[in-house]
């Protein structure tokens, strides 16, 4: 059974129909990558899952339960964490306060925190500093750390590599690999090399519709398909 199942989801923002009849199944475990060009509807899909946009119509089932009309806070309580594209951190709050916000009752398990420090060492150094003073990569790491400070069932990650240096992207890929051993990740990404290194299953969204689903292995091997769907064959081969 799939962990997350989206059925015939349509979302309109104002007068614009952004998603049309999207159906997607994210299996339990590993990294599911949702690829697509700018403006294809990737972020809207994640925001709809989190209840930040209301579907009209459509249904979203998570872990056997219909979460379509739940409030965002209740969806988060079901075990879904969201790492938004713009990092979504609170710059005026310290790193520690940002982390407290992500916990259910304001306390962390020290062992878990050590594990997070191991994955993202910069956090320990800047623990008492305002998050706004962190570099772009560090902010992104804080955003990821917030999502994993407590065990979750699913983490939605929106373009984590955007604007980051290659060395940081490599470290981040390593981190996601380790996180995906315990938690399913739904990753939205434009950086195909990064996505390919992590993804087990994948889908492609275009103009608000799912145009392809399958395994990453098969997709990575099919240059013609990549070229047709993403115009990425040159980057993909690189």
> In whole angstroms, how close is the CB of 45 to another protein at the nearest point?
15
Compose the 130-159 pattern: x for residues touching another protein by CB under 8 A, - for all others. ----------------x-------------
By CB under 8 A, tell whether 108 contacts another protein.
no
> In whole angstroms, how close is the CB of 86 to another protein at the nearest point?
9
**Chain-centre distance for alpha carbon 27:** 15
Would you call 91 helix, strand, or coil by DSSP?
Answer: coil
With respect to another protein, which residue has the nearer C-beta, 17 or 96?
Answer: 96
By CB under 8 A, tell whether 97 contacts another protein.
yes
| Radius of gyration, alpha carbons of the chain | 17
By CB under 8 A, tell whether 92 contacts another protein.
yes
Query: CB under 8 Å to 49, separation ≥6 — which residues?
Result: 4, 6, 60, 62, 75, 80, 156, 186
Residue 138 DSSP one-character state: H
Phi, psi of 105 (to 5 degrees): -125, 20
- Which part of the chain contacts another protein (CB under 8 A), choosing from 6-14, 30-38, 77-85, 159-167? 77-85
By CB under 8 A, tell whether 75 contacts another protein.
yes
With respect to another protein, which residue has the nearer C-beta, 84 or 137?
Answer: 84
For another protein, the binding residue among 27, 29, 88, 236 (CB under 8 A) is: 88
> In whole angstroms, how close is the CB of 37 to another protein at the nearest point?
24
**Chain-centre distance for alpha carbon 232:** 21
Distance CA 187, CA 213 (A): 14
CB 92 within 8 A of CB 132: yes
By CB under 8 A, tell whether 225 contacts another protein.
no
Distance CA 142, CA 104 (A): 17
Q: Which of 208, 226, 209, 230 is nearest to 217 (CA)?
A: 226
For another protein, the binding residue among 19, 102, 145, 186 (CB under 8 A) is: 102
**Residues of this chain that bind another protein (CB under 8 A):** 50, 52, 71-73, 75-77, 81-82, 84, 88-93, 97, 100-103, 105-106, 146
């Amino acid at each position: 059974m799939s962990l997350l199942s989206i059925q015939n989801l349509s979302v309109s923002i104002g007068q614009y129909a952004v998603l049309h009849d999207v159906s997607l199944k994210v299996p339990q475990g590993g990294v599911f990558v949702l690829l697509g060009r700018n403006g294809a509807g990737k972020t809207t899909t994640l925001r709809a899952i989190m209840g930040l946009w209301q579907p009209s119509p459509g249904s979203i089932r998570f872990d056997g339960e219909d979460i379509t009309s739940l409030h965002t806070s209740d969806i988060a309580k079901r075990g879904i964490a969201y790492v938004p594209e713009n990092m979504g951190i609170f710059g005026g709050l310290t790193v520690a306060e940002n982390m407290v916000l992500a916990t259910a009752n304001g306390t962390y398990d020290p062992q878990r925190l050590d594990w997070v420090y191991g994955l993202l060492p910069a956090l320990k150094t800047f623990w008492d500093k305002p998050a706004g003073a962190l570099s772009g990569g560090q902010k992104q790491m804080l955003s990821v750390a917030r999502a994993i400070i407590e065990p979750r069932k699913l983490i939605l990650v929106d373009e984590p590599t955007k604007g980051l240096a290659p060395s940081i992207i490599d470290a981040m890929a390593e981190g996601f690999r380790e996180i995906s051993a315990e938690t399913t990740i739904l990753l939205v990404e434009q950086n195909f090399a990064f996505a390919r290194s992590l993804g087990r299953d994948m889908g492609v969204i275009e103009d608000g519709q799912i145009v392809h689903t399958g395994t990453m292995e098969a997709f990575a091997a099919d240059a013609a398909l990549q070229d047709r769907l993403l115009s990425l064959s040159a980057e993909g081969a690189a």
